Structure 1
Amino acid sequence: MSSFSGKSEKGDHELGIHSEPVADGVYRPEVDTSGVNEKKLMRRIDLHVVPWLGVLYLLNFLDRGSIGNAKLYNLERDIGITDTQYLLALTVFFFPYSLVEPASNILLKKFRPSIWLSFLMLGWGIIMTLHGVMHDYGGLVTLRVLLGLFEAGLYPGIVFYISCWYRRSELGSRVALFFSSATVAGAFSGLLAAAIENMHGVGGKPGWAWIFILEGLFTVLCAVASFWIIQDFPDSAKFLSDTERVFIVRKLQEDQQFSAGGEKFKLKYVWDSLKDVKTWIAMGMYAGFDGPLFAFSLFTPTIINQLGFTATAANLLSVPVYAWACIVTVVIGFWGDRIGHRGMLNLFLFGTGLVSYIILIASRNPSLSYFAVYLGASAIYPTIPNSVAWVSSNTEGSYKRSVTLAMAIGFGNLNGAVSSNVYRAVDKPWYRLGHGIILAYLAIGWICSLIFFFYLRYENAKKAAGARDEVVEGVDNKNADPRNGTFASVEDARREKGDRWSGFKYTL
């Protein structure tokens, strides 16, 4: 049994004030939550929140990357395009995919997850189905732009949505569980493409067209179901009782998520994100793994194919690579929650990725290169949920967090426009240029992770020394500095400053 009072767990010294810990921020103090069983409640929340999000992201990743499988079944020849045109069609996807993500997250907060996420899914499912009836280069480019537009909001939206349900120490494992569906999609896409290709000639359509049509129609069906399946935020979720909703909000506020009880939109929160140096460091970190991620998902079958395997064999040989990535992603997610040192994990994972691509550049042995693909998968995929949890847990204020995550993810995704062009047909079978560019991305991610770690440690030290203390009316604090803000109460300071509040401790 457990209950939360809404009081800060930090002592007077850590708060930088000489008074009792604040108690005026209790969410709905008239509600008694002492009878709530936390473990049972969290298991129920996990079942209602995480699995369906995993299904959505599986379909998102599957639909986005299926063009890589279709390419192996003569897509280029049948619609009369060159390899350069194919790469350009992949590239245009990323511009709308990246640019609309911050706006999409704000709309998610305004229209509720059940409506906004389902709407996005319905749109991209229809666009995906239309891929099966395109017949020229213009049609392909148009559909890839529209697909990027509708798919843009799902990933940052889900990440933000999950961060509104769980404490910082619970976030990594949940993000890893939902994100592991991306690895399942990578494995499943190869099996599915190999099976669907057997429909070649049915209805007068080639096998690659049926890959798009069947996957798109299934996405549309799941989108319709999502309007009823997706839950909204904790303070309004229908599957919780009133007491349970209060319990969850208080629990989040205890974890320094002060906006958990609801927050009205202010343009100030957007500017807070834009002015925060952490946002810009996170953007570099996300570029470091998103560039490699998109290259990996789009070209793994092609890379294996050029190592001497047939198209179907290459699709099938990509399956165990993704299965391994799924296992590692989940293990790292739970381990990160347990040890709490996400910065060190990030450095280790990016380092592993650097080793894998050095091997790919140097290798002239298909077996060694295939092993390096496994090593790359076990580095790239688990880095993403670990980084998401790290950035999210150090950004307070629901709107600020939504904008920060969307900007970081959006900029990371924009780099897919680069990495989708680096594996050129003229460089086969070893693709040294492509591997070298991905190696550079991983190095950027490692450096940004190191900078992020030292910046957070520096800020924690400053807060502990009282250098970030704000003036609170009626509180005697010799360290208080008007330059850090002046507030009527500690509660006001927490709400207005978010993670910049002197009592907020960053997680390393």
Structure 2
Amino acid sequence: MTGPQYNWTLTVFFFTYAAFEVPSNLLLKRLRPSIWLPTIMVAWGTVMTLMGIVTNYHGLLVARLFLGVTEAGLYPGVAYYITMWYCRHEAQWRQALFFSAASIAGAFSGLVAYGIAHMNGVAGLRGWSLSLTSQKGILTVLVACAAYFVLYDFPETASFLTTEERAFVVYRLKYQGQVADEHVHVAQADEFAWKYVRAAFLDWQIWVNVIVYWGIVCPLYGISLFLPTIIKELGYTSSTAQLLTVPIYITASILAVATAWTSDRAGKRSPFIFGYMCILAIGFVMCISSTKPGVIYAGVFIAACSIYPAFPGNVTWLSNNMAGSSKRAAGMAIQIGVGNLAGAMASNFYRAKDAPRYRLGHALELGFTGAGLVACAFLVVNYRRINAKRERQMAEGMHSGYTPEELSSLGDRALTYRYAL
């Protein structure tokens, strides 16, 4: 394929991927996680297996469109599933454990790709075809089939918990984020209603969070899709470039989990997100300003190791600030769905004609990171302002004019709710 054709096969995936994320999350509770998530994996693994036997550009383009449809619900579904089990001060560590699996997969993909590069001709297939059919296709289907039998649905139906434990888990999830009042006990609304979905689409914080998400995800996709190419153009062979991706992903994974643990203990999200995005910007400045391969590799290393701790923090931060399971399901899917359109943009940042320095690509990533930093600061200022206003209104007794049911239906807009910072 030509360079533009390769970029298009990367880009079209994100159109269907973004379009199907909200419907998938709305189906998750109705169809049960233990059914829906493994089914998505089976479908996605099947498409990936078939993608390994395409013979031309147009076949690959169509396969990538279908891959976006089938894979769309997995990450937002799992991210939402975690919030159905853990309170908001516990969620980021679990989100990071799941997301760091992508980082570890990136490391192992580099090693496997190095080995498969030397297997051309096995079973009459090229090395890339073997990678898609066996490593990314058939193995995914096998893991998905096992997931049907080991994945639990909801705390209230979990057979490994006692009756008292189930009641305790459900209680703490319902009342998280509320300011205690001996006369008012506000539970989060768990029933599905289209008004909560509509509220998610109209919520300002989701759309500002999308900009923060773009500031992290544009670099994430840019690096994950083009990292071996960027390293190869620094003068290394293809095999060595694959191996040099391994330490980047391993370090990023360790940092993601360690940062998430610290963030949960501190009960803060924004300082870690903002701090890592600043470091991310420094990494791209190094890539733009230097001509030395070692410095550029260090810049990419620093950038990647900042992305992986920031990403689960951003997803967790928004989930922490949406009350009501239906609104949270829709809101997280909007954030991840619209946010992943950044992948369609990032797929075209690194052009073959810009090799070996890719200054335009690095500069565009830096621009998105800067916009994300501004949006992050905007969220912090407004969350503090709203929390302070609600404190004053509570002190004046304004919440006493609402019934617990009315406060529950208001969700995170209730006077008793406090945004996490």
Q: Same fold (TM over 0.5)?
A: yes
- Structure 1 position 193, deviation (Å): 1.0
Deviation, 1:497, is 0.8
Structure 1, 456-465 or 196-205: larger mean CA deviation: 196-205
Q: Distance in 2 between matches of 1:327 and 1:272?
A: 37
CA distance in 2, matches of 1:218, 1:226: 13
Among candidates 239, 245, 249, match of residue 322 of structure 1? 249
2:94 maps to 174
Alignment of 1:324-473 (within 5 A): 324-466=251-393
Deviation at 1:231, TM superposition (A): 1.2
Q: What is the CA-CA distance between 1:242 and the residue it aligns to?
A: 2.1
CA contact (8 A) 2:399 2:416 kept: no
| Matched residue, 2:81 | 161
User: Deviation of residue 279 (structure 1)?
Assistant: 1.2
* Residue of structure 2 equivalent to 1:499: 412
Partner of 1:102: 22
Deviation at 1:379, TM superposition (A): 1.1
- One-letter amino acid of the counterpart of residue 416, structure 2: G
2:170 corresponds to 1:249: yes
One of 211, 214, 218 as aligned partner of 1:287: 214
Alignment of 1:192-271 (within 5 A): 192-215=112-135, 216-256=137-177, 263-271=190-198
CA deviation after TM superposition for structure 1 residue 494, in Å: 3.1
Tell me, yes or no, if the aligned pair for 1:190 and 1:318 is still in contact at 8 Å. Answer: yes
3-state DSSP of counterpart to 1:228: helix
**1: CA distance, partners of 2:55 / 2:159:** 46
- CA–CA distance in structure 2, aligned partners of residues 436 and 256 of structure 1: 39
* Alignment match, 2:63: 143
CA contact (8 A) 1:463 1:502 kept: yes
Rounded to whole Å, the distance in 1 between the matches of 2:350 and 2:202 is: 36
**CA–CA distance in structure 2, aligned partners of residues 129 and 259 of structure 1:** 45
Partner of 1:235, secondary structure, is helix
The Cα RMSD (Å) is 1.6
Instruction: Tell me the distance in 2 between the aligned counterparts of 1:504 and 1:259.
Output: 11
| Aligned residues of 2:156 and 2:166 also touching (Cα < 8 A) | yes
Letter of the aligned partner of 1:217 in structure 2? Answer: I
CA distance in 2, matches of 1:480, 1:497: 12
**TM value normalised by structure 2:** 0.95
Q: Which residue of 2 aligns with 1:63?
A: none
1:127 match: 47
Name 1:479's counterpart in structure 2: 398
What is the identity percentage for the equivalent residue pairs of Structure 1 and Structure 2?
41
The whole-number CA distance in structure 2 between the counterparts of 1:346 and 1:387 is 7
- Could you list the per-position Cα deviations for residues 427-464 of structure 1 after superposition, in whole angstroms to 9, with x for gaps in the alignment? 00000010011111111111111111111101101101
For residue 34 of structure 2, what is the aligned residue in structure 1? 114
Structure 2: segments with no counterpart, 5+ residues: 179-185
Q: CA deviation at 1:259?
A: 6.1
- Displacement of 1:480 after TM fit? 5.7
Letter in 1 for 2:398: N
Shift of 1:293: 0.8
- 1:181-203 deviation line (CA, Å, top 9, x unaligned): 11101111100111123321012
CA distance in 1, matches of 2:262, 2:177: 22
**Residue deviations 1:306-332, cap 9 Å, x none?**
001111100001000101101111111
In 1: Cα distance, 2:333 partner to 2:215 partner: 16
Identify the structure with bigger relative contact order (alpha carbons < 8 Å, sequence gap 6+).
2
Distance apart, 1:267 and its partner CA: 0.6
CA shift digits 1:362-421 (9 cap, x unpaired): 110001111111110121111011111111111100010111111011111011001011
